[in-house]
Amino acid sequence: MPTERQVKSVTHGDYRAYEVEIIPGIESVAIDELRSRYRGDIERLHQTRPGFARFDFRGDPERMRQLRSVVAVYEIHQFDVPRPKALLGHQHFTRLLGILRQIVDGFSHTRPSLGIGAAGSGSAVIRRLKHELAEALGLPISDDGKGELFLRLVRAANRDAWEVLPRLTEQPLSKRPWRAVDVPGALNGTVAFAMTRLGSPKAGERVLNLCAGTATIVIEHAISGQSALSLAIDNSPQMLEAAMLNLQSSRNSAQVQLAQADAVCVPLAAGTVDRLYADLPFGNHIGSHQDNVQMYPKLLREAARVAKAEAEFVLLTHEIVLLRRLLTASDWFIDAERKINLAGLHPRLFVLKRKSNTI
């Protein structure tokens, strides 16, 4: 039998250790969500590096499926082995199989595929580990390297040990169950959720989402139950069709009105909106820089026209230089901003406030 030291699992009393993966830049939103949801059942919550936080949690891990600001949740299991090759040894391999069988037992997918994420995941040792695990579990190996049963292998900090971190869920939590239609350029659900938490959101606000696309932000806003009615506009009929299907699937159609309109000419009276959102075209998947040079100043003016005096405008863009330049001569000022890392792109989230002397 392995000794206690060799197979120590990461538990503290009733608590078990977990790691969450977060879009870099929104870690504080995730930490706030974890604290407020699990008050009394969470300890030692801290960010470990950009995009990751760890904590001890007691209770049913199924509760963590509710999280909306994190990409994925992983259990942490420590193996006192000097290198991953030792995981192929009988004792460690048997323990690893037990851990993975328990994870798979909680899945609805009957034949999940297996993936391993590790530095050097193409190495002969990791490939062998993956093949032996897949064979022992009777599962296929995923084509995309991730699969439904996904585990990461990382070297333990300050220890001559390795950690195995199986993802708790078959899909990342950022893949929203409400999303009936996806399109290139649709926003990551966890970032949309973060946008609804930035600034000072209040219940009952009148919300306008400019350039709403597939309605990711307004759906995340509606799920939070923060406002009675939102208006989401986009000038593309295809996007609005996708938005409608997503809204129906999220069961929030009653709270969000969709309209085909130009973001520079909004069908609302002046001074009527409390909170605005926009994930602006960056000129990557959608639009071009030249289009943005034309559109952004008009959009900022139109947003200021429909905004109430204390309104906030939470905006995501990659056109940072353009936006900053335009803001100096606009009716908005920057209250907060944060850089995020979205699959290697570095757009910024801005919280703008209406300048009061220009109303």
Helix, strand, coil percentages, rounded to 5, for the chain: 35, 30, 40
The burial class, CB within 10 Å (0-12 / 13-18 / 19+), for 207 is: buried
**319 sits near ligand SAM (criterion: CB under 6 A):** no
Instruction: Please report how close the Cβ of residue 344 comes to ligand SAM at its closest, in angstroms.
Output: 16
- Which of these ranges, 111-119, 124-132, 211-219, 221-229, lies near ligand SAM under the rule CB under 6 A? 211-219
SS3 100: helix
Per CB under 6 A, the list member of 84, 112, 147, 213 interacting with ligand SAM is 213
Residue 266 C-alpha from the chain's centroid: 29
Distance, CA of 304 to CA of 315 (rounded, Å): 13
Per CB under 6 A, the list member of 86, 287, 320, 338 interacting with ligand SAM is 287
**185 sits near ligand SAM (criterion: CB under 6 A):** yes
Instruction: Please report how close the Cβ of residue 299 comes to ligand SAM at its closest, in angstroms.
Output: 7
Cα–Cα distances (Å) from 246 to 30, 177, 277, in that order, read 24, 10, 18
**317 sits near ligand SAM (criterion: CB under 6 A):** no
Strand partners of residue 55: 18
**322 sits near ligand SAM (criterion: CB under 6 A):** no
Residues near ligand SAM (CB under 6 A), total: 20
Cα–Cα distances (Å) from 178 to 151, 189, 257, 271, 303, in that order, read 25, 10, 17, 32, 28
**186 sits near ligand SAM (criterion: CB under 6 A):** yes
Contacts 24+ apart (CB under 8 A), 173-176: 173/65, 173/67, 173/68, 173/70, 173/71, 173/72, 173/73, 174/23, 174/70, 174/71, 174/72, 176/216, 176/219, 176/250
Instruction: Output DSSP code: residue 248.
Output: H
Task: Return the number of the residue (100 or 232) whose C-beta is nearest ligand SAM.
Answer: 232
**137 sits near ligand SAM (criterion: CB under 6 A):** no
Task: Return the number of the residue (31 or 217) whose C-beta is nearest ligand SAM.
Answer: 217
- Which of these ranges, 71-79, 113-121, 173-181, 230-238, lies near ligand SAM under the rule CB under 6 A? 230-238
Task: Return the number of the residue (176 or 354) whose C-beta is nearest ligand SAM.
Answer: 176
The burial class, CB within 10 Å (0-12 / 13-18 / 19+), for 171 is: middle
Distance, CA of 315 to CA of 279 (rounded, Å): 6
**235 sits near ligand SAM (criterion: CB under 6 A):** yes
Task: Return the number of the residue (224 or 235) whose C-beta is nearest ligand SAM.
Answer: 235
Task: Return the number of the residue (11 or 294) whose C-beta is nearest ligand SAM.
Answer: 294
Residues 6+ apart with CB under 8 A from 56: 12, 15, 16, 17, 18, 42, 43, 44
**59 sits near ligand SAM (criterion: CB under 6 A):** no
**295 sits near ligand SAM (criterion: CB under 6 A):** yes
Per CB under 6 A, the list member of 84, 172, 281, 347 interacting with ligand SAM is 281
Task: Return the number of the residue (42 or 242) whose C-beta is nearest ligand SAM.
Answer: 242
Residue 358's nearest CA partner among 315, 328, 336 is 328
Instruction: Please report how close the Cβ of residue 279 comes to ligand SAM at its closest, in angstroms.
Output: 3
**249 sits near ligand SAM (criterion: CB under 6 A):** no
Per CB under 6 A, the list member of 263, 303, 306, 315 interacting with ligand SAM is 263
**174 sits near ligand SAM (criterion: CB under 6 A):** no
Instruction: Output DSSP code: residue 142.
Output: P
Which positions lie near ligand SAM, rule CB under 6 A? 185-187, 211, 213-214, 216-217, 234-236, 239, 262-264, 279, 281, 286-287, 295
